Chain A
Amino acid sequence: MCRFRSLAAFLLLFVATPLRAETPSPLRLIPDQADFVVQIEQPRKLVEAFTTFELVNELQKLDSVRELYDSTNYRRFFQFVAYFEKELGKPWPELLDQLGGGGIAVAGKFGDNSPAVLVVQCKDEALLKKAFKRAVEIAEQELARVDDKAKLGRGDHEGVQIVHLADKLYAAVVGSALVVSNKDKGMQAAIERHVNGGKQSLAGMKAIPEARKLLPPDPLAWLWINMETVHQAPQAKELFKMPRNDAQLTVLAGGVLDVAGRSPFVCAGFHRDGNGFLATIRAPVGRDGMSAGLAYAVPPKDKSGTLPLLEPKGVVFSNSFYMDLSELWEQRGKLFNEQTAKAMSEFDKKSGAILAGNKLSQIFNQLGAHYRLVATHQMNYPYSVNLSSSLARAIPAFALVIEMRDTEEGRRNIETAARLAAFAATTQVKMKMTEANYGARTIVTYRFPEDQKLAGDTDGIRFRFSPSFVAVGNQFVVSSTLELARELVDLLENEAKTGSAAPSAVSNRSQLYAKGGTEILKGLDDFLLTQTILGQALPPDVARREVDKLVVLLGKLGVFKSEQVYGAKESHIDLRLQVGK
């Protein structure tokens, strides 16, 4: 194990400054049969992106993190780095520049026991050779310490010496690069490309610059996956074909799977983005050429995408997505297999009996294509019962806001369905229905009696719920609490007045709010404190400070955003962390 740790630490030294024009690409040593490659073009920038990230510094103030830094393994790592600094005569940032300045690439083929290769492109060949020699010496010493009879294996290919460090671990200095592979053949392939000047390597593949072009500039790291290989996998046929047997998968991820099924490659980039980070996944195909049946999930060019996110007080999570159920119903024959489509039609015929005379297909036709989900920390609790259970206290309020196509009829039918569902619930659990006026709106709400017990709910979880629904213009709100329903009425009325509901081209967007999340965490305070004391054997006052610091730190995480966009000729999913203050 020590050997691997030392080697891993050694490899970390090969992280460096921006690529210079004269430095060759590490991709020249990777065969073009690779199914995937991850490249860090500017390794030092990646390291600095984290070391200068404010939250990392804040994290280091936690006792548990400081203890980790003081651990034996960390200390040895730093000693290891210090040793190389001394041996190679340069401080670690300079070593990073010199040893890994040309970039780092990891590539391989999918499948068990497939070859993988790591290439670290150096800028000072003499220094690389010296560092490699020292690293091999250390590996030899480690091996001798563990087993005095064991020795490192050595071989060569095309005149390049290969060191066999361990089972499935080969390393060599190949020209001005360090190459590590899990397979002898992987190492040989890299050496052969060095000898032939990079022929049949990833450096010559058109798809790579295409992928890089698709990504935002200056990624800290990027990934390319050859989807043509993925498409040929035995499981891929079932996954990507339409109509698909798995109806759930089609409804939830039909669009994404269609893109993945048509795209020659998928790429991803990891970027510094203002005071946070951006991770993006991109494909060079979009709406054009998409299966017609998938229009339910993908906003057409001439139609609106998602509505703006709703952000009531104490918001923890907000989501807005496009899903045209009317379209889905129409296209069911193209989306689902014959059996499922037939079952849906059969159910529709009988659905009037349980939907107060309305067929399911009618209701789908009355629904719009825009939905919004929201969850909030419960600022005001719907009952006077004082709950001791931290679990119950932590339960957020949540709501679904549904757009209606034909406002009045839609509202009436959906409200009828909601009342029916609520009625069915009251046959199982005692709840009282009230209709409360809120401004010009009438909110229908259900409450649990506070003076009665409910078997199976000793923690009083029910007292975090007062299921409610209300229509606001063409928006129908179904909320877990009356308080959230009221807030949403205000927000939706304001949205209607200010016209801030201008749609976007995004088909699905979500945000997670650290501030709201920390409010929920505060509800779990006693659990966190107990876990900290028992987990780390800290005195209660120290544990208290540790938990407080952690909650403050998490609050600083700001907002985590995700957006899914289907363009005409490209699709992407962006994941953004925007750190707060």
Chain B
Amino acid sequence: MTDARVGGVGLTHFGVHPERTSRELFAEAGLAALDDAGIDREDVEAVHYGNFMGELSEHQGHQGPLAAEALGLDVPATRYESACASSGVALRQAFRDVRNGEADVVVVGGSERMNNLSTAESTEALAIAADDLYEVRAGMTFPGAYALMAAAYFEEFGGSREDLAHIAVKNHANALGNDHAQYQREITVEDALDSPPVAEPLHLYDACPVTDGASAVVLVSEEYAAAHDVAAEVAVTGTGQGGDKMALQDRDDVATSPAATDAAEEAYADAGVSASDVDLAEVHDCFTIAEVLAVESLGFFEHGEGIAAAREGVTTRDGDLPVNLSGGLKAKGHPVGATGTSQVAELTKLLRGDHVNSEHVADATTAVAHNAGGTVASAVVHVLEAVDDEEVGA
């Protein structure tokens, strides 16, 4: 087996681009990734592509072939759908193909167009990630589901809306210099607390925005990188995936996210690292409470202690363990099917040193990406490690 190297990454601006089709957004991100890698198009062997709501927002299923042709490629292409973890699971498959020696060069990414829908329509579209019979038909919304998790967390472990507000403030601050981010503006704890309620205890500033955007990553084998002199300074070294019951009502405890715990344990074992080795993380903060559940599942904090991490400065950019230096889903934005690979694109740049926030993690070598689907009924975790330049050509 070989580790898969990140040969190149590409991102569109994440924001409000209602007129742009998901295929054209993906073209921009994917071509940027190929340019970043400096790889000939003839060498790409497959495209793995995440998309969530194409049938609803664009009346377009079967987007895999569209994704490949958008990049000018004539290769097998598959679309993955696991709600907000769509491109995370696509990455897992792409990574396994390269590590198992079945491919030397693959493009993996995702794209989502959402803002061509009204707010009501996109709320309804996002709700299909929940159980239609037993959740959606009872009036459950996506924010409502996370609100139930937040209320259960507060009841079981304590914590407050102010603790959650500190997460939003942190992630907005991290996005300030990120030109790919939807919100490049600071907010205060008071702004967050005073924002209108969406699903109590969650308010507007606890929620990620509705975002259009795309992301892409080129994975190459170690051998290919060496033979073709590809500057691939970051390797994906571990993958893990966990699953849980679809509906919250069918889980024993909704104040934790065991699927992500399982994914993290598998990914750490795969990479031969432990939680204490991790220097930085991009986690799936679709709502502020989701970041709390994520950092606990990743083993950075005991259950009940992740709620205070942002307020106490542990996960801020100058803290011991910066989380969501990109701005996270909260401030960078959440084009659902593009989010998983966008986390890996951001982490790659952070580790390579060409990210606007790289200065905050100058000595970092190990990073983790945590991508969750629905209310963490699907979870994917990947470990990335900086590779010594000397090794690349070895």
Q: Do A and B come from the same complex? A: no
**Measuring CB to CB, which residues of chain B are less than 8 angstroms from any residue of chain A?**
none
